[in-house]
């Protein structure tokens, strides 16, 4: 799948994480100039990221997506370098799992600030340029939890469900300007979070997935790349489930 005309630039938040890094690699392989954005890592983590991504055209920018001033500073740095963001992939996310009765306001706010407010901050900063140029792709990483709920994740489920509502509204606003806005809802994916699940629990999870396996970050990255392609210009406001059949809806 080709990036299309010229070398377009993709900004991927949460770019050092499992799904984020796989997305950066896939988009770079598809011809995009890629900027991975994440919280400022320690030197060892950043070195590991660069070793894993090899000689692909992937740069790195530090940003806290939950901080509107940090997001504005990132946009200013890119503008000063003459970088126009053609593709925005909002993959940054956190969890603060606890039942609602035990959840404190900070655990609610932290999840909302990163998983939902961060998408607002970055879309607001970059969608105008996409509209002006007549082309853009925004992909927001939601979750199966936003469709089904999950025990101890009322904050995360609310943020991820809200994310697709945001996606549909923005899609309507910018469709006529050549900009698509879509979301992807992964199921269980083989990341450090799921690797920490006890083996017995993982076995029960896999037994409930029709595809018979937990997803790989590359499975999600392929879906992102599909929605970012020039050829996907007639797909907008879509929530694409990538969950091995764990949740199906008509």
For 233, the token pair is 């210009």
Contacts of residue 47, defined as CB under 8 A and 6 or more positions apart, other chains included, come to none
Indicate the pairing of strand 58-62 with strand 87-90: unpaired
Please say whether the beta carbons of 65 and 59 come within 8 A: no
Q: Please compute, for residue 207, the number of CA atoms within 13 A of its CA located in the half-sphere on the CB side.
A: 6
Q: Is 156 a catalytic residue?
A: yes
Task: Choose the catalytic residue: 49, 60, 126, 156.
Answer: 156
118-133 vs 154-174: helix crossing angle, rounded to 10: 20
With vertex at residue 116, the alpha carbon angle to CA 112 and CA 118, rounded to the nearest 5 degrees, is 105
* Eight-state DSSP code of residue 191: S
Q: Which residues are catalytic?
A: 156
């Amino acid at each position: 799948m080709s990036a299309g005309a010229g070398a377009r630039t993709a900004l991927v938040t949460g770019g050092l994480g499992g799904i984020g890094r796989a997305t950066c690699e896939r988009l770079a392989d598809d011809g995009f100039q890629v900027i991975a954005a994440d919280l400022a890592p320690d030197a060892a983590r950043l070195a590991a990221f660069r070793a894993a991504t090899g000689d692909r055209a992937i740069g790195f920018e530090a940003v806290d997506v939950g901080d509107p001033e940090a997001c504005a500073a990132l946009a200013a740095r890119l503008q000063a370098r003459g970088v126009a963001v053609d593709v925005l992939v909002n993959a940054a996310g956190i969890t603060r799992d606890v039942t609602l009765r035990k959840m404190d306001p900070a655990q609610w706010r932290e999840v909302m600030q990163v998983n939902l407010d961060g998408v607002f901050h970055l879309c607001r900063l970059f969608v105008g340029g996409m509209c002006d140029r007549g082309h853009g792709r925004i992909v927001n990483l939601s979750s199966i939890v936003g469709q089904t709920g999950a025990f101890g994740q009322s904050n995360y489920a609310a943020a991820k469900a809200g994310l697709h509502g945001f996606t549909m509204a923005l899609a309507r606003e910018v469709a006529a300007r050549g900009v698509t806005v879509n979301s992807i809802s992964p199921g269980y994916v083989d990341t450090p979070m799921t690797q920490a699940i006890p083996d017995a629990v993982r076995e029960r999870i896999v037994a409930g997935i029709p595809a018979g396996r937990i997803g790989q970050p590359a499975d999600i990255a392929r879906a992102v790349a599909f929605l970012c392609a020039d050829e996907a210009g007639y797909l907008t406001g879509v929530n694409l489930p990538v969950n091995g059949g764990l949740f199906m809806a008509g």
